A and B are shown apart, each in its own frame.
Chain A
Amino acid sequence: MEEHVYKRIEAYISGNMSAEDAQQFESEMATQPDLKEEVALYTSINHHLTETEFEDTNYNTAYKKEIDTYIESEEGKALKKKLLKVKEAYKATSQEEAPTSKTRPLYYILSIAAAVILVFGLLFTGNSNTDLYTDYYQSSELPSFTSRSDETSLLSKASLAFKNNDLDTSLSDFKEYLSVSKEIDPLVYIYTGLIHAEKGNLEEAIAQFDLLETSQSLDNSRALWYKALTYIKFNESTRAKEILTTLLENPSNYKYTEAKELLDKL
């Protein structure tokens, strides 16, 4: 497809077309099935990428009929009944299990609680804050360095190692990058900070985020977000709240909306 066609399709989909142009465009679609299909596909792609709407389309295809036929068949009806039966069985047992724990002796519960605190305390996980951390920490949002050509190979190697949870390799690759590069990308400090946090070194982690925060990067507010998450990970709610409050001073800061939500939950 040509670029000018694409521009028109996008304008039409987003409603940025004058009524006159839109009418013209629709009459073209009526006579050109290819164009109509292209518009449908690009609409779907936009839906998929914005993630806000799950498409609700009327299908009237052979495949739909095939599915409907199955649903109406005896087998399909039996399947539905069976799933409902399992659901009821699950609900019955999950309700049964809950009260039994109350009958256990107190020392038994306390000893388990102590063990849990011991184990998870060492791992810096296992409390309600960890849930918040996992709810808000998205590895997919970490910066990607693939577009930068210079030291790209080193950076992508380092971030790949990070993704594969090979923290030592990742850290040494990032350190090498930081020592050899004339102009460093401050977003690297997000990774080095997270690595130190994973290794249980809170102070060093915060120091790395500080480097990003004080850099000239347009994205330096990301430092605040990762600092807050790290404090949460280490169960330091007070510090986390302070950082989030700072983040909320400027609505253009990274993760402004999420920060508000997170602060409320804390």
Chain B
Amino acid sequence: MVTKNGINYLEGLRTGDEKIIKAIYTSMFPKVRHFVLKNEGGQQDAEEVFQNALYQLSIRLKVSDIEIKSSFEAYLFTVCKNIWRKELNSKKRWVRNEEVIALKSEESNHSEAIIAQERWDLFEEKLQQLSPNCKELLKDYFKKVPYDRIVKKFQYASENVAFQRIFKCKKRLADLIKKDGNYAKLKS
């Protein structure tokens, strides 16, 4: 996958080409930094997120492979967002003291983040395979749009019909995920 400026970032990462990896920094780090700073993080956090994202992607390229459907830039940004979201969640849980978090080794942190990201990719791929109607419906449902508004918006006969439709859309998504050969590998 070659980008606008003719550099194949993914190949560069696979072969560990320092020039290309630096080019990835130049083109993408400011955007990720902006995102982390806007979301309760600092410069140090941004650097760690970016470094971890590149590290985890490199490992995946060695151990299995990565198939990117969008652009490399967009994908890297998604990975960074997920890493930061996970970090924020665990910080919040730590503050709320909801659970005792067993200290994990650094390797485990990385390998679990890698698997979680691969699962995320799989779920997203299957979600995109649903009909536009199903996608929109599930999105509204999870945004907690009240049933009566869903009924109006999608012109269903009743709330029960809306419920049935949500059930079918979710089931379809679940079936698509289960059918994928990679799902078994990525289960906990």
User: A-side interface residues toward B, CB under 8 Å?
Assistant: 1, 3, 6, 37-38, 40-42, 44-46, 48-51, 53-64, 66-68, 70-72, 75-76, 79-80, 82-87, 89-91, 93-94, 144, 146-148, 218-219
CB neighbours of B58 from chain A (8 A)? 79, 83
Within 8 A of A (CB), among B91-125: 107-108, 110-112, 114-116, 119-120, 123-124
A6, A84, A86: the one contacting B22 at CB < 8 Å is A86
- With A67-B111, A71-B107, A218-B149 known as contacts, the answer to whether A57 contacts B188 (CB < 8 A) is yes
B142 partner residues in chain A, CB cutoff 8 A:
46, 49-51
The listed residue (B16, B62, B152) touching A218 by CB distance below 8 A is: B152
Whole-angstrom distance between the alpha carbons of A55 and B124 in the complex? Answer: 14
A90–B29 touching, CB < 8 Å: yes
A133 to B153, CA, bound (A): 27
Query: In the complex the two chains form, is B120's CB within 8 Å of A3's CB?
Result: no
Q: Decide: B112 and A147 in contact? CB cutoff 8 A.
A: no
A130 CA to B70 CA, complexed, in Å: 24
Encoded as 1 (CB less than 8 Å from any A CB) or 0, chain B from 145 to 188 comes to: 00001001111000000001001001101100110000001111
Question: What 1/0 mask marks residues of chain B from 51 to 76 whose CB sits below 8 Å from any chain A CB?
Answer: 10011001100110000000000000
Asked if A147 and B167 make an inter-chain contact with CB atoms under 8 angstroms apart, the answer reads: no
In the complex, which residues of chain A have a beta carbon less than 8 angstroms from the beta carbon of B186?
63
- Given A48-B123, A57-B112; A83-B51 close (CB under 8 Å): yes
| Contact in complex: A56, B116 (CB < 8 Å) | yes
A40 / chain B contacts, CB cutoff of 8 Å: 187-188
Do A64 and B136 form a contact, CB below 8 Å, given A41-B177, A42-B170, A90-B26? no
Question: Nearest CB to that of B186 among chain A residues?
Answer: A63
Which residues of chain A are near B82, meaning CB under 8 Å? 54
In the A-B complex, the 8 residue pairs with the closest CB atoms: A67-B111, A90-B25, A54-B86, A49-B142, A48-B123, A146-B132, A54-B85, A71-B107
Asked if B174 and A54 sit within 8 Å, CB to CB, the answer is no
Further pairs besides A87-B47, A146-B131: 12, Cβ < 8 Å: A6-B170, A45-B173, A49-B142, A53-B89, A59-B111, A59-B115, A61-B187, A64-B108, A66-B63, A68-B107, A82-B21, A147-B155
